[in-house]
Chain A
Amino acid sequence: MMRAGHPQWLWLSLLAGVALLLYLFRRRARAVEVSTLLFFTAPAADRREAAWLRHIRKWLSYLLTAAVIMCGVLALARLSWNPSGDPPGPVLLLVDRSASMDARRAGGLTLWEEVQREMSERIEALPDGVPVSVIAYDARPVLVQPPTTSRREVKETLGRLQPRVLPGNAAAARAFAALHAGPGSGAEIWHVTGAVEGPGDSAVDEVRITPEGPAAANAGITAVSLRSRPLQPGERDLFVRVEAHGKGMAGGSAPVRLEIRVNGGLMQLRNLEIPWGGSEALVVPLRLGAGSRLEVLAHMEGDALAADDRVEVWVPEERPRQVAWVSEDPDPFVEIALAAIASAGRLGFVRMKPADWDAGDTRWSLLICDGWLPAERPGIPAVVIDPPQSAGWLDVLRLEGPQPRDVLRVAAAEHPVLFRVVSGRAGVAQTARVTPRPGLEPLWLAGDDPVLLAGLDQGGPLVILGFSPRRSDRLAFSAVFPLLLGNALYWCAGWAEPDSSEGAAVLATGSILESEDPGRAPASLRWIRQNGAAAAAETNAHVVELDRTGLWEMAGGRRGSAALLSAEETREAAAAGGRAAGGLPLRAGWGGATAVLLAAALGLLLWESWLFHRRGVY
C-alpha cells in the first residue's frame, strides 16, 4: 500500500504530459542539404543506428524524462509505502513539561534536554506522511501543535517548549490526549515523561518514552504552612515537610540541611537525616513580625531539582477577622470566651440579632450561630452553638431538656478543634441531637450521640456544638470551653478565604488567581524578587496563572507566594533516571520513499544524459 504525505503535490504529475508535448513539439534539427557527407565527422560503424532504433531511443528519451518528473513529483508528495497494507495512524506526542523534567541527570544534561534529543531522533525515524501533534502538559494540558506532517514544524514546536515550575497532572493530560486522538482513529500516543508509571496508569494505551540514565537524588520541600498560635500574638508555627528520593533508596538516609531565613538573614538551621524515599515533617516555632519575608531552603549534595528546594512566604499581618456572632439570647460563657479570643487581636466579633443577619454581606469571615440557625447554609465557615431546631441544611432533634453528659468519649483526638483540649475534664449538658452529615466528623460522643462535630460540609468548614455552654457547669467554668471555641474559630478561620491584606497564602504553582476587579481590569501580578525588584506579569484576561515560585503581589494589594510543593514532582525528579527507555513501536515496513525517489531521479537523469547527450557535449 502506498500513501502520499502531501497528496496536494500529485497534480504536478501532469508535468509528465508537458514533457510529452515538449517531445512532440520539440525543436527540430535544421535540415540542410549537402553535396556529400564525406567531410562531416562520420560516426563509427558501431555507432550508426537504424531508423527503428532511433525511434525507440526517442521514445525512451521521453519516457525517461517523464520518469524523472514523476520521481520528483512523488518525492515532493512524500510517498511512502507499506507492504502489509496497514495505513499509518497519527502520532500524538504527550510531552511532560512539569517541574521534574528540569531535573539534572548524572551526565550533566537535564531530563528535558535528553528528552528533546531522543524525541528529535524518533521523529526523524517516523515514516513520511504520518501526522504528528504535540500536547504539552504540566498542571493543565495544552495542544501546542496541531497535526502536521512537517517534521521541521514539530521539532520547532518542541524546541520552543521549556519545563515549567508546575506540578504535572498526567491523568488529566492522558484524558485530554485520548479525547484529542479520538476513538478508533488509530492514533498512537507517545507519552514523553520522566515519571515512573504508576499501577493505574494504563487506562490510556500509550507508549512511554523515558530516557535511560542512572538514578538521581532529590530532596525537596513538599509542604509549608505558617500558622499563628492561638492567643499568642506574634508567635507562629512553621510547618515544613521535606522529602528525599532517589539515590540509595535501598537504605540509608539523605543529609538535608534546612535553612530558615527571615528577610535574608538566617534564623534557624536544621540538619535532617531523611530516609531515602521518606519524609520528615517538623514544626518550627518562630516569632515573626508582620510583613517579613520568610524563606525556607532545603540543601542536599547532588540535588537534582532546584525548583522544590526553596519556598518563600509573606508573614501575614495580624488583622482581626470579622466574626458575626448572631444570637437572640447570647450565652454569657460564649461572650466570656469570645472576649478572651478577641483580646488576642486576631478575631473581631460583632454581636447581632438574627434579624440583622445578611447572608450576602461580605464583611464576615466567620459566623457564630449561638442558639440560632439560619434558614440556608451560610457561605462562610460557621460555628453552631446549641442549635434550637432543624433547618433545611442541618437536621437537629431538640431534646426535652438539657441532658447532662459528664463522660465524653473522644472520637478524633488529633483534630485541630481538640488541640490541647483536655476532654477528660469536660462535661456538657446536651440540648440537641445532631444527625451527622457527610463530611462532618464526630469529635465528642456522649453515648452514641455526637455532641461535638467538625468537618467540611458542602465545601465549607462547620463546627457544631450540640450542647448549651451556660448549662454545662463543668465546661463553662473551666479553660476547656474557651480553648475549644478558640480552636473551632481558628480552624474555621484557616479555611476561610484569605484576607487580601493578610497575604499569608502559599499557593502551589499552577494555581489560578482571579482579578480582584473581574468586571473591569484584567489581572495584574507582580513577582517580588529576593532583591526587592518586581517583575510584572500582565495579562489581558481576568485570571493569571502562578507559573513561577516566589512572592507575588496583585494590583489590589493582595499578596502571597507560590511554591512547587508537589511530592510527585520531588519524587519524579529523582526517579527519572535508571529506567530504560520505553519501546517505540515504529511501524515496521513503512518506509519513506523520498530518498529512493530522489536517487532514482538522479540516476535516470544520469542515464538519460549518458544515452542521449554524451555525444552532444563538446
Chain B
Amino acid sequence: MAGSDDGETLFDPAFLRKLRTFHLRLRRRRALQRRGQQSTPATGYTREFRDYRSYTAKDDYRAVDWTLYARLGRLYIRLYEEVQELHVHVLVDRSGSMARPYPEKRLAALRLAAGLAYLGLAGRHRVSLYGLGDRVEGLTRPLEGLGSLRVVLDALSGLEFGGQTDLPGAFSRFRPPRARYGIFFIISDCFGRDPAGADAALGRASAWPGEKHVIQIHHAAEASPEAEGELLLADVETGERRRVWFTAADRERYERRFDVFCQDWRRGCAMRQMEHLVWRVDEPFEGFFLRLLARGSTLVER
C-alpha cells in the first residue's frame, strides 16, 4: 500500500513549535564513545563550566581548582557540562494491519514517527527510520540536523504498508551496531502470527544497544469489535478467511484475549526494562504526546 500523506498531514507546524521545548534524553547516563550535542545531568569533559563541588577522594585530582584552593584553603573541583550524541532509531510497523481496516493507525504511526524524528533531529541526534514487517528495513541513512526533516517526511510519506508482521523474526535479524547506541522507538500494533509471541520478540529486542520504547497502537474496534452475527472474517495480512457466528459472549471472550495480549506485552517490557505505552488512535495525537511527556522517561523539557 502506497502512502499518500504529505508532510503537511504528518506535521502540524503549531504542534512542532511546542515540541521545540522538548528534547530527547537517556534515562540513565552512559559513557558514549561519541560526544554530541545533548547535555546530560552528569558532568563531563567539555569546556562548558557548570559548577564547583567539594573534592572527594574518588575525584580526579587534576580537576582540583588550585586557584580557589589558594584563596580559600579548601579543595574544590570544577565541573563541566557533558554533551552526548544519541542515536534515535524509529521502527515503524509497516504491515497490512497498520493500514487496514483502520487507516487511522497508519496515520497515527507516521505522525508519531515524524514527531520523534523531529525531536531527534532538533536535539542534534542521529536519527534512523526503519520499516518493520517480517524484517526490519532501513528507510533512511542516519540523519542529522533539522535539514534532514524533509528526508524524514519523504520517507514516511512514501512508506508502503502491507505484508505480515513477524516481530520475533524481524527483531532477531535486526542487529544495530553498538556504536549506534541510543533510543529505540518501536511503533506497532504488535499483531503477529502468534498471540504469545511478545516474549520472544522482546527477548530479541533486549539485545539492542540502547533504551527501548514500545508504543503499541490499536484501534478501539480492535479492542472490542462491534459486529455481530454471521461474519466472514478476512485477515488483512494473511488473507485467511473464517466464517464465525459472533455473539456477545464471543465479544467478551475476544476482549479478554485482547487484554491478555496487551498485558503480555506490558509485562514483557517491564521485565526487560523497556517502556511500553498503548495508544488508542481515537485519543488525539497531541494528547498522547503529552502523556508520553508526562511519563518523563524519554522526553524532558529543556
Contacts and interface: CB of A to CB of B under 8 A. Distances in A.
A33 B240 CA distance: 10
B204 interface: no
B242 A40 contact: yes
A31 B244 CA distance: 10
Contact residues on B (Cβ < 8 Å of other chain), bracket: 35 or more
Given A30-B227, A34-B225, A40 B195 contact: no
Contacts of B211: none
Contacts of B234: 31-34
Given A30-B231, A35-B222, A41-B250, A618 B101 contact: no
A39 B257 contact: yes
Interface string B166-189: 000000000000000000000001
B247 interface: yes
A616 interface: yes
A30 B230 contact: yes
Which applies to chain B's interface (DSSP): helix, strand, loop or mixed? Answer: mixed
Contact of A33 (B101, B245, B250): B101
B230 A33 contact: no
B249 A38 contact: no
Contacts of B80: none
Interface in A22-46: 28-41, 43
A421 B63 CA distance: 187
B232 interface: yes
Contacts of B240: 37
A40 B254 CA distance: 6
A265 B34 CA distance: 151
Contacts of A36: 97, 191, 235, 237
Contacts of B253: 41
Contacts of B244: 40-41
B50 to A, nearest CB: 50
A269 B96 CA distance: 119
B289 interface: no
B236 interface: yes
A282 B165 CA distance: 122
Chain A at the B interface: SS class:
loop
A38 B230 contact: no
Given A29-B232, A34-B233, A39-B254, A618 B245 contact: yes
A66 B201 CA distance: 53
A57 to B, nearest CB: 11
Contacts of B66: none
A34 B236 contact: yes
B132 to A, nearest CB: 15
B288 interface: no
B179 to A, nearest CB: 36
B94 to A, nearest CB: 14
Interface string A584-618: 00000000000000000000000000000001101
Contacts of A41: 244, 250, 253-254
Nearest to A31: B232
Of listed A35, A40, A41, A615, residue having the most chain B CB within 10 A: A35
Given A29-B230, A41-B250, 5 more contacts: A30-B230, A31-B231, A32-B232, A33-B100, A34-B233
Interface of A: 28-41, 43, 615-616, 618
28 contacts: A29-B231, A30-B229, A30-B230, A30-B232, A32-B232, A32-B233, A33-B100, A33-B101, A33-B236, A34-B233, A35-B102, A35-B222, A35-B235, A35-B237, A36-B191, A37-B233, A37-B238, A37-B240, A38-B194, A39-B195, A39-B254, A40-B233, A40-B242, A41-B244, A43-B242, A616-B245, A618-B247, A618-B249
